[in-house]
Structure 1
Amino acid sequence: MEWVVLVSVLVMIILSLLRVNVIIAIIAAAIIAGLMSGLSITESIEMLVSGMGGSANTALSYILLGAFAVAISYTGIMTMLVKYLIRVLTGKKTMLLLVIAGVACLSQNLVPIHIAFIPILIPPLLKLFDKMRIDRRAVAVALTFGLKTPYIMIPAGFGLIFYGIIKEGMESSGVAITIGEITKAMFIPGLGMIFGLLVAIFITYRKERDAIPGAGGIVPTNIKEEDTVVTFNKKHLFTLVAILGSFIVQIITDNLIVGALTGLLLLFLFLVIPFRKGDQVMTEGIGMMGTIAFVMLVASGYGMILQETGAVTALVDVSSGLLGDNQALIAFILLLVGLLVTLGIGSSFGTVPIIAALYVPICAAAGFSPLAIAALIGTAGALGDAGSPASDSTLGPTAGLNADGKHNHIWDTCVPTFIHFNIPLFIFGWVAALIL
């Protein structure tokens, strides 16, 4: 039983590296996990399907955010932003990558639309990337940095949700901690993310590289080139009001679905988007985010199989039974378990509740401080989010960068983000657990 997680995750990773569709790879991993746990193929699939509901809220929010992003793109306000970036940053490769990382960070806190901005901001910039011969792997790393680092380091927006999950998981297992203490605990792991970004931009992907047609395995979509001059007008003002309204409602209700619906409704009420285009907006929103949403659903079902069959618990038990009271070794093994589990499930937020209940008793018995335990849980949950074929932190960048069929999800997004974020995050998180 203790090998279920390792074997099934390896199956998923190997199939993905062989360019098998990620949904098929996750289903295959889920069936392997079920069979190794004593379930039949039919029972495994039934459990997979029943567990898909665990991410229904997330999937629906992504679809609605996609529709909201499409509606915003119709107003032309993104064209203004893209033209400004092209005018100011053409030839300034490093600055462009840092700005993209910064914009991605804002999508997690200031305007929490998560990955929905990528398919409307990045495709128009692809010709600029090709003209400047920017290595798209660097862009993928910059985007994933912005999608992941804010929730690791900043207790606001998605970060506040992540910290709340850690706090709840620790307190339910008998260890009291505050949001402020979790912020301190996650500072050192967050430095690992910054280190990984700087290495990618200034060292690994500094050289010029041409994107290869067909590398993404899809038929290129029509990327519109806007030659007309767009000036700020009343529609753009109402668009900003809708974005602000969506942000305020999300903060008040703590619900992305309600926030996205509010933004869409305001755009229609202000007649920024004609009512007759409602079907078109939703259809394109589903086209933009539907694959990502469905991957998240299937990954949730896979996570349920690992949890319900006791595979994760068995892996932690067999690991902790061999560790004794060696804190350095305990921290290393627990982080490794977190990496494996999150690589499979693809969701750091979904992983934390699973591992918190298992980690807290082990860490408390070994004498770790509450800050060290928080650092371990937070880092273990975040590990694997970058690099996982099923993670929105990798699926989002690929959705934008592969609009012209020149960017491969596994080799151009998952592998680079795994190397530049999971490795330093693992090391910095391990150090944090030992010194806090």
Structure 2
Amino acid sequence: MEWVVVVSVLVMTILSLLRVNVIIAIIAAAITAGLMSGLSIVEAIEMLVSGMGGQANTALSYVLLGAFAVAISYTGITSLLVNYLIRVLTGKKTMMLLAIAGVASLSQNLVPVHIAFIPILIPPLLKLFDDMKLDRRGVATALTFGLKAPYIMIPAGFGLIFHGIIFEGMETNGAAVSMSDVAIAMLFPGAGMIVGLLIAIFVTYRKDRVSTPGAGGTEVITEEVNRENVSFNSKHLLTLIAIIAALAVQLITGNLILGALTGLLLMFLMIVVPFKQGDKVITDGISMMGTIAFVMLVASGFGTILSETGSVDALVEVSSGFLGDNKIVIALILLLVGLVVTIGIGSSFGTIPILAALFVPICLAAGFSPIAIAVLIGTAGALGDAGSPASDSTLGPTAGLNADGKHHHIWDTCVPTFVHYNIPLILFGWIGSVIL
């Protein structure tokens, strides 16, 4: 039973590396986990389907955020940003990557559209990337940084939700901790993310690289995306008001769906987007984010099989047999276990409650401080968002970078982000959990 998680995650990873569609790879991994746990194929599929509802809220919010992002782009305000980047950063690879990481970071806190901005902002820049011979793997790492680092380090927007889940998970399992302690704890994995980004930009992806047509496994699009010449106008001002309102509602209620609905409703009420375009906006939002949302649903079903069959508990129990009382060894093994679990499930937010239930008793018995336990849980959860084929932080960048069929999800997004972020995350999380 203890090998179910490891084997099923390996199945998903190997199939993904062999360029099998990520949804098929996750389903195969889920069936493998079910069969190894004593379920029949039918029972495994039924449990997979029953568990898909665990991410229904996330999936619906992604579709609505996609529609909100489409509505924002309808006003042409994103063209202002694209034109500015083209005008100022053409030929400046390092600055381009840093700017993309910065823009992506805003999507977690200031403009709460999460990954929905990527398919709108990135495709118009692909021709420029090719002209500059910019390595798209560097762009993928920059985007993933912006999608992860803010919620890890900043207790606002998505970050407030993430820190809150860590806080609740620890409180529920008997470890008293404050939100301020959680914020301090998460500075360690956040620092690891920064180091990984700097290495990617200034060392790994500095050289020229020509993107290969057809590498993404989809139809190659050769025509250049139209770039509108627009100037700031009243519609753009009203769009900013809608964005601020969406952020405010999301922060007050903690609900992404309500925030996205608020932004969409204001865009229509203020006639920034004509009401007759409503069907097209929603349809385009579903088209843009639907695949990602469905991957999250299937990944949730996979996670349900792993947790309901006791596979995750068994893995931690067999690992704890090797732990002893050495904090350094305990911290490293728990982080590695967390890596395996979260890579399989692909959701940092969704795995925190599971990890907290398993980590807290072990850590309290070993004498870890509450803030050190927060470091371990937060870092282990964050590991799942970099490198996992089922993570929105990898699916999002691929959705934009493969718009012309030249970027592969596994080899050009998942592998680079795994190397540049999971290694420093483990290292910095390990250090933080030992010294705090």
CA pair 150-26 structure 1, distance change in 2 beyond 3 A = same
1:84 aligns with 2:84: yes
Residues 196, 424 of structure 2: 8 Å contact kept:
yes
Residue number in structure 1 paired with 2:45: 45
In the superposition, the TM-score normalised over structure 2's length comes to: 0.98
Residue number in structure 2 paired with 1:230: 230
Residue number in structure 2 paired with 1:329: 329
Distance in 2 of aligned mates of 1:228 and 1:331: 52
In the superposition, the TM-score normalised over structure 1's length comes to: 0.98
CA pair 221-213 structure 1, distance change in 2 beyond 3 A = closer
1:228 to partner: Cα distance: 4.6
CA pair 224-287 structure 1, distance change in 2 beyond 3 A = farther
Q: Secondary structure at the residue paired with 1:108?
A: helix
Residue number in structure 1 paired with 2:405: 405
CA pair 122-402 structure 1, distance change in 2 beyond 3 A = same
Residue number in structure 1 paired with 2:128: 128
Amino acid at match of 1:162: F
Residue number in structure 2 paired with 1:57: 57
Q: Secondary structure at the residue paired with 1:329?
A: helix
Distance in 1 of aligned mates of 2:270 and 2:160: 32
Distance in 2 of aligned mates of 1:130 and 1:122: 12
Amino acid at match of 2:4: V
Amino acid at match of 2:100: I
Distance in 2 of aligned mates of 1:315 and 1:220: 43
Higher mean C-alpha displacement, 323-332 vs 45-54: 323-332
Residues 218, 405 of structure 1: 8 Å contact kept:
yes
Amino acid at match of 1:97: L
Spell out the pairing of 1:247-396 with structure 2 (5 A cutoff): 247-396=247-396
Residue number in structure 2 paired with 1:74: 74
Distance in 1 of aligned mates of 2:220 and 2:284: 16
Distance in 2 of aligned mates of 1:225 and 1:109: 28
Residue number in structure 2 paired with 1:167: 167
CA pair 224-410 structure 1, distance change in 2 beyond 3 A = same
Residues 79, 228 of structure 2: 8 Å contact kept:
no
Amino acid at match of 2:355: I
1:182 to partner: Cα distance: 1.1
1:7 to partner: Cα distance: 0.2
1:320 to partner: Cα distance: 0.4
CA pair 173-219 structure 1, distance change in 2 beyond 3 A = same
Distance in 1 of aligned mates of 2:409 and 2:125: 18
Residue number in structure 2 paired with 1:214: 214
Higher mean C-alpha displacement, 181-190 vs 408-417: 181-190
Amino acid at match of 2:162: F
Residues 238, 270 of structure 2: 8 Å contact kept:
yes
Residues 384, 418 of structure 1: 8 Å contact kept:
no
Residues 79, 226 of structure 1: 8 Å contact kept:
no
1:229 to partner: Cα distance: 2.6
Q: Secondary structure at the residue paired with 1:388?
A: coil
1:109 to partner: Cα distance: 0.8
Q: Secondary structure at the residue paired with 1:107?
A: helix
Residue number in structure 1 paired with 2:35: 35
CA pair 329-245 structure 1, distance change in 2 beyond 3 A = same
Residue number in structure 2 paired with 1:97: 97
CA RMSD of aligned residues (A): 1.1
Q: Secondary structure at the residue paired with 1:156?
A: coil
CA pair 334-228 structure 1, distance change in 2 beyond 3 A = closer
1:259 to partner: Cα distance: 0.9
CA pair 330-19 structure 1, distance change in 2 beyond 3 A = same
1:220 to partner: Cα distance: 4.0
Residues 68, 113 of structure 2: 8 Å contact kept:
no
Residues 134, 210 of structure 1: 8 Å contact kept:
yes
CA pair 125-323 structure 1, distance change in 2 beyond 3 A = same
Residues 162-195 of structure 1: CA distance to partner in whole angstroms, max 9, x if unpaired? 1111111111111100111111112122111111
Higher mean C-alpha displacement, 234-243 vs 7-16: 234-243
Residues 26, 298 of structure 2: 8 Å contact kept:
yes
Q: State the aligned residue count.
A: 436
Amino acid at match of 2:239: T
Q: Secondary structure at the residue paired with 1:289?
A: helix
Distance in 2 of aligned mates of 1:173 and 1:75: 48
Amino acid at match of 1:376: L
Residues 325-362 of structure 1: CA distance to partner in whole angstroms, max 9, x if unpaired? 11111111110110001101000001110010110000
Distance in 1 of aligned mates of 2:312 and 2:398: 29
Higher mean C-alpha displacement, 39-48 vs 103-112: 103-112
Residue number in structure 1 paired with 2:239: 239
Residues 220, 405 of structure 1: 8 Å contact kept:
yes
Distance in 1 of aligned mates of 2:113 and 2:238: 18
Residue number in structure 1 paired with 2:19: 19
Residues 113-167 of structure 1: CA distance to partner in whole angstroms, max 9, x if unpaired? 1111111111111111111110000000000001001111111111111111111
Distance in 2 of aligned mates of 1:290 and 1:220: 21
1:188 aligns with 2:188: yes
Higher mean C-alpha displacement, 293-302 vs 239-248: 239-248
1:263 to partner: Cα distance: 1.0
Residues 145, 197 of structure 1: 8 Å contact kept:
yes
Unaligned runs of 5+ in 1: none
Higher mean C-alpha displacement, 32-41 vs 182-191: 182-191
Distance in 2 of aligned mates of 1:227 and 1:166: 43
The runs of at least 4 consecutive aligned structure 1 residues that moved more than 6 Å come to none
Distance in 2 of aligned mates of 1:228 and 1:262: 27
1:221 to partner: Cα distance: 5.4
Residues 124, 227 of structure 2: 8 Å contact kept:
no
1:222 to partner: Cα distance: 7.9
Distance in 2 of aligned mates of 1:250 and 1:227: 31
Residues 296, 391 of structure 2: 8 Å contact kept:
yes
Residues 153, 187 of structure 2: 8 Å contact kept:
yes
Distance in 2 of aligned mates of 1:292 and 1:232: 32
Residues 5, 315 of structure 2: 8 Å contact kept:
yes
Higher mean C-alpha displacement, 231-240 vs 336-345: 231-240
